[in-house]
């Protein structure tokens, strides 16, 4: 518990990264933590794009409000949602789940029909919002994992999603970018690391009922 709280107090949204590269073993841990993130219905309606190509990342800077972290950090993660979820996607997932958990066919079919009922009877704009919100669960997991393995991060909503999709070719893959998160190591001269952690007191945030 002490290590967790120390890690969360240590992290901040890095504004300037050094050129130091993250070792592969830590990248593997971070990516595995993303894979293990929980999702609504377990559907995992997302993809995690690990962008290492420097030329592509430089192209992304201008459509990220000129935030240099996108290009300067060791790695860039783009969290993308699927553009659409079909009945076929539900069948694929519930079939996989049934195999993994030895689920009886009738239970699998009931679960699949329940998910399809939600997807097919919910307005499209609400489904889009639901798909995007799923990725904030991923982002929280990502930042916590990074802090625990002493990797810095900078969560970002401030970018042109359509431009990201074009540059990264996500439309061709049936994906839409939602969030970006450069990860790496803070530069020694990033002044933000010396600022005090500003959070309200527990009694100002927690309501016990």
Distance from C-alpha of 155 to C-alpha of 71, rounded to nearest angstrom: 14
Residue 198 confidence class, pLDDT cut points 50, 70, 90: very high
Residue labelled with tokens 């079919």: 109
- Cα 72 to the chain's mean position, in Å? 19
Ranges of each domain in the chain: 2-205
Position 1 pLDDT exceeds 90: no
Q: Residue 132 class from Cβ within 10 Å (0-12 exposed, 13-18 middle, 19+ buried)?
A: middle
Tell me the three-class secondary structure of 91-120, residue by residue. HHHHHHHHHHHCCCHHHHHHHHHHHHHHHH
Residue labelled with tokens 């969290």: 79
Q: For residue 103, what are the contacts with CB-CB under 8 A and spacing of at least 6?
A: 97, 111
**Which of 37, 29, 2 lies closest to 139, judged by CA?**
37
Q: Residue 85 class from Cβ within 10 Å (0-12 exposed, 13-18 middle, 19+ buried)?
A: buried
Q: What percent of the chain has pLDDT over 70?
A: 100
Give the pLDDT confidence of 17-26 residue by residue, as tens digits: 999 999 999 9
- Domain 2-205: give its CATH code: 3.40.109.10
pLDDT computed for residue 201 by the predictor: 98
Give the pLDDT confidence of 124-143 residue by residue, as tens digits: 999 999 999 999 999 999 99
């Amino acid at each position: 518990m002490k290590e967790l709280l120390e890690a969360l107090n240590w992290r901040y949204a890095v504004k300037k990264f050094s050129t130091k590269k993250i070792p592969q073993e830590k990248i593997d841990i971070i990516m595995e933590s993303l894979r293990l993130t929980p999702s609504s219905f377990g559907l995992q309606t997302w993809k995690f794009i690990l962008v290492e190509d420097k030329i592509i990342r430089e192209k992304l800077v201008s459509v990220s409000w000129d935030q240099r972290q996108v290009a300067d950090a060791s790695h860039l993660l783009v969290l993308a949602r699927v553009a659409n979820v079909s009945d076929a996607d539900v069948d694929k997932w519930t079939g996989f789940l049934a195999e993994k958990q030895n689920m009886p066919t009738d239970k699998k079919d009931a679960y699949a029909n329940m998910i399809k009922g939600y997807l097919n009877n919910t307005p499209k704009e609400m489904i889009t919002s639901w798909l995007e919100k799923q990725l904030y669960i991923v982002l929280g997991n990502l930042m916590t994992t990074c802090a625990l393995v002493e990797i810095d991060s900078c969560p970002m909503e401030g970018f042109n999603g359509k431009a990201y999709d074009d540059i990264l070719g996500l439309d061709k893959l049936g994906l839409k970018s939602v969030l970006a998160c450069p990860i790496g190591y803070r530069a020694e001269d990033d002044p933000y690391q010396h600022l005090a952690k500003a959070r309200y007191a527990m009694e100002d945030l927690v309501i016990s009922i």
